[in-house]
A and B are shown apart, each in its own frame.
Chain A
Amino acid sequence: MNRYTILIYTENFIGILNRITIIFTRRGINIDALTASESRLEGIHKITMEVSVTEQQMVHLAGQIEKIVDVIKAYYFKDDEVVYQEIALYKVPTESLDPGLEKVIRQFNAHIIAAEKEFVVVEFTGHKQDTQALLEILKPFNLLEFSRSGRVAIAKPKFSVQEYLNNQTYNH
């Protein structure tokens, strides 16, 4: 089993995410994390998924994903082939700031992005083990809420969806 980051470029089409996820459901494969947003190219969406599967499964899954009519391209990468980040938000009681919390925030180079009378929201980005480490530390500070995103990722190998789109379709 390897951990893969799958980058999927799709048309902005209702139901496309469903079409992709049922491929995993059918095979009993869990999607560990998922992020979807518009890509750099207008009208083209980028879905980033994180899964743990064998290489053979990954090849098969990518084939099934690319087979979807509204999928433009699907790429997959092992962890060392991508630069990735996850964002985490932590809601802690304002009264917990003193003492100790300030030191933790400095150590982690995290940010307070909102402060209310009752609570502050701390933002921290990194890999899962980093955001998880901060989570463990903040728990004793009466952590009120925690939210973590899926991966956003940039692949190290070069590829261009734009170039792919510019290429002429081969007509039979």
Chain B
Amino acid sequence: MIRGADIVVKSLIEENAEFIFGYPGGAIMPVYDALYDYSDRIKHVLTRHEQGAIHAAQGYARVSGKVGVVLATSGPGATNLITGLADAQIDSTPLVCITGQVAAHLLGTDAFQETDVVGLSMPGTKWNIQVRRVEDIAPAIAKAFLIARSGRPGPVLVDITKNAQVEFGEYNYVPCLGVRSYRPYVKIDQSAVNAAAALIDAAEKPYVLFGQGVILAQAESELKAFLDKTGIPAASTLLGSGALSEEHPSYVGKLGMHGNYAPNLLTNQCDVLIAVGMRFDDRVTGDLKRYAKQAKVIHLELDPSEINKNVACTVAIQGDCKDSLALLTAAVKENSHESWMDRFRELEKEEKEAVVIHDLHATQGGLHMGEVIHIINKFKEDDAILVTDVGQHQMIAWRYFDYKTSRTQVTSGGLGTMGFALPAALGAQLHDYSKQVICVVGDGGIQMTIQELGTIMQTKAPVKVVLLNNNYLGMVRQWQQLFFDKRYSFTELENPDFIKIAEAYKIQARKVTEREDLEAAVAEMMLHQGPFFLEVVVEKEDNVFPMIATGCSVEEVRLS
């Protein structure tokens, strides 16, 4: 017989959890007490806020493909997880969050630090449960891990009352192999594959859109094989970046509101659209009424509720895209689409002249965000991980970072959570100290979770933090400029001395304001052994283009 708290920790070890990101408090103290004895088998990372803990776990999960584990106390500890849960839910990130809860006899009495965590977290979790008895702890954790990582991954929350943590019970860990009401995988329907192959073989201008589903299914090589055989141009969503090397001949760019010119524009000119592991988010489609209406749509998707949700498809291939891509590759004819591909290259040139030269090759005026990323590319390894926050810097960094390998892109896509990057970068770095982790943030977002510099200090995680500072909430300001008559309502920031803040956390820091200093500063950062904080003061009122304004069609993508 062992304590419930020990069962919690032993169960996590049983599930091969390597890290726990957490923050102690009253209702979770027995588990923390148990952790004290297992510090050689499982590492706990003490963040400075529970939101930091969950974003760190997300960063860890996104780069490792493993389940991120979070530990928090009841009440405010648990409510501070809500943003991260919603973020992980919409971006399909596998997490198991364990929260302490007041003792079972106090439930519903407004006891100290009691909150209805199961109720609060329900819309932001794939599954959640409250455990009130010691014997239910191990089965709940086993089920939580299965649900978090299988099918379309997502966050799961297990709320454990304090009495269950201190009671003694039998421990016999049995991994959960299945839940009868939950069947995330289906056998691929070969007739759908054949129908799709017929459409693809007959297509003059087929076009592949790939998303994070490819990464989650570990189907990168299957995607590449499909493209190698068919020669079809392929564009990435925000979270799909990295699934295909940008050097691959089929790769034509990025989709979405601030994606590339050709991939957006030509969506409305293709004849067969092949969507792989993506969900036709509104930031990708623009106005749905004018989205790819000319095309037959083939959708390879695991989650049946995503099929026909936003875009009606001609052929749906439900199932894991690792399986469906392999079957589809076997079924299609070898092909090439050179003149169609040339259309992408022509428009790419237009974009280069209209946007890229301004963003990357300016010789006077303030520094552009793109220049910083451009120089980072020179010093980065192929498997360097880019973690971004939300806003202008996110779109610019995504546009210009050279993605060569999978799981190198960590950002808050669906939810758009400012404050995500700094803790997520920490989590990504902890997974592998030997990899370069570059955290690009804005001056707005970093101040939402800046306290996590403390966690970077304490863990000595060698994260390279690149603050692109324009002293504005830049993306909102851009919209105010373009759509609200330049009425810059509450978007200008009076900022602190970020260098002093970094140095206060014992992190080496450098500030760049001039173009001629940039490359040397980036070089210093990238070669530095430990964590580094680089602040680059950039042009105050620069805009991100191309852009598809809200309500516009993909073909109305503008270059200025």
Question: Beta-carbon contacts of A1-16 to B below 8 Å, as 1s and 0s?
Answer: 0000000001100110
Of all chain B residues, the one with the shortest Cβ separation from A10 is: B181
Contacts of B305 in A (CB 8 A): 60, 63-64, 66-67
Contacts of B126 in A (CB 8 A): 69
Of all chain B residues, the one with the shortest Cβ separation from A63 is: B305
Of all chain B residues, the one with the shortest Cβ separation from A9 is: B181
Q: How far is the CA of A71 from the CA of B309 in the complex (A)?
A: 20
Q: Given the known A-B contacts A67-B303, A72-B180, are A59 and B308 also in contact in the complex, defined by CB atoms under 8 Å?
A: yes
Contacts of B150 in A (CB 8 A): 172
Q: Does B551 interact with chain A (Cβ within 8 Å)?
A: no
Contacts of B147 in A (CB 8 A): 69
For chain B, the count of residues having a C-beta within 8 Å of the partner chain is 27
B118 touches A72 (CB 8 A): no
Q: How far is the CA of A60 from the CA of B127 in the complex (A)?
A: 20
For chain A, the count of residues having a C-beta within 8 Å of the partner chain is 23
B178 touches A169 (CB 8 A): yes
Q: How far is the CA of A56 from the CA of B467 in the complex (A)?
A: 45
Binds A, one of B182-190, B247-255, B257-265, B393-401: B182-190
Binds B, one of A18-26, A91-99, A105-113, A139-147: A18-26
Q: Does A170 interact with chain B (Cβ within 8 Å)?
A: yes
Contact of B304 among A19, A26, A63 (CB under 8 A): A63
Q: Does A171 interact with chain B (Cβ within 8 Å)?
A: yes
Of all chain A residues, the one with the shortest Cβ separation from B303 is: A67
Q: Given the known A-B contacts A63-B305, A67-B305, A169-B178, are A15 and B187 also in contact in the complex, defined by CB atoms under 8 Å?
A: no
Q: Does B1 interact with chain A (Cβ within 8 Å)?
A: no
Q: Does B130 interact with chain A (Cβ within 8 Å)?
A: yes
A18 touches B119 (CB 8 A): yes
B118 touches A15 (CB 8 A): yes
Q: How far is the CA of A64 from the CA of B308 in the complex (A)?
A: 12
Q: Does A70 interact with chain B (Cβ within 8 Å)?
A: yes
Contacts of A165 in B (CB 8 A): 180
Of all chain A residues, the one with the shortest Cβ separation from B180 is: A165
Contacts of A59 in B (CB 8 A): 308
Q: How far is the CA of A164 from the CA of B147 in the complex (A)?
A: 20
Q: How far is the CA of A172 from the CA of B187 in the complex (A)?
A: 8
Of all chain B residues, the one with the shortest Cβ separation from A25 is: B123
A172 touches B182 (CB 8 A): no
Give me the interface of A with B, judged by CB distance under 8 Å. Answer: 10-11, 14-15, 18-19, 22, 26, 59-60, 63-64, 66-67, 69-72, 165, 169-172
Query: Which of A60, A69, A72, A171 counts the most B-chain CB atoms under 10 A from its CB?
Result: A69
- Name 5 interchain pairs, CB-CB below 8 A, sorted by A: A11-B180, A60-B305, A69-B147, A170-B185, A170-B187
B183 touches A170 (CB 8 A): yes
B180 touches A66 (CB 8 A): no
Of all chain B residues, the one with the shortest Cβ separation from A67 is: B305
Q: How far is the CA of A169 from the CA of B119 in the complex (A)?
A: 30
Q: Given the known A-B contacts A14-B130, A69-B127, A72-B180, are A170 and B186 also in contact in the complex, defined by CB atoms under 8 Å?
A: yes
7 additional A-B residue pairs with CB within 8 Å, beyond A15-B119, A171-B178: A15-B122, A69-B181, A71-B181, A170-B185, A172-B150, A172-B185, A172-B320
Q: How far is the CA of A172 from the CA of B448 in the complex (A)?
A: 40
Query: A165 CB to closest chain B CB, in angstroms?
Result: 6
Q: How far is the CA of A64 from the CA of B303 in the complex (A)?
A: 10
Query: A68 CB to closest chain B CB, in angstroms?
Result: 8
Q: How far is the CA of A110 from the CA of B227 in the complex (A)?
A: 70
Contacts of B184 in A (CB 8 A): 172
Q: How far is the CA of A14 from the CA of B185 in the complex (A)?
A: 25
Of all chain A residues, the one with the shortest Cβ separation from B304 is: A63
Which B residues, 304 to 332, have Cβ-Cβ distances below 8 Å to chain A? 304-305, 308-309, 320, 323
Question: Beta-carbon contacts of B122-139 to A below 8 Å, as 1s and 0s?
Answer: 110011101000000000
Query: A121 CB to closest chain B CB, in angstroms?
Result: 34
Contacts of B181 in A (CB 8 A): 10-11, 69-72
A63 touches B119 (CB 8 A): no
Query: Which of A22, A71, A165, A170 counts the most B-chain CB atoms under 10 A from its CB?
Result: A170
Of all chain B residues, the one with the shortest Cβ separation from A59 is: B308
Query: B355 CB to closest chain A CB, in angstroms?
Result: 37
Query: B474 CB to closest chain A CB, in angstroms?
Result: 31
Of all chain B residues, the one with the shortest Cβ separation from A23 is: B123
Q: Which 10 A-B pairs have the closest CB atoms?
A: A63-B305, A172-B185, A72-B181, A69-B127, A69-B182, A67-B305, A170-B187, A11-B181, A170-B185, A169-B183
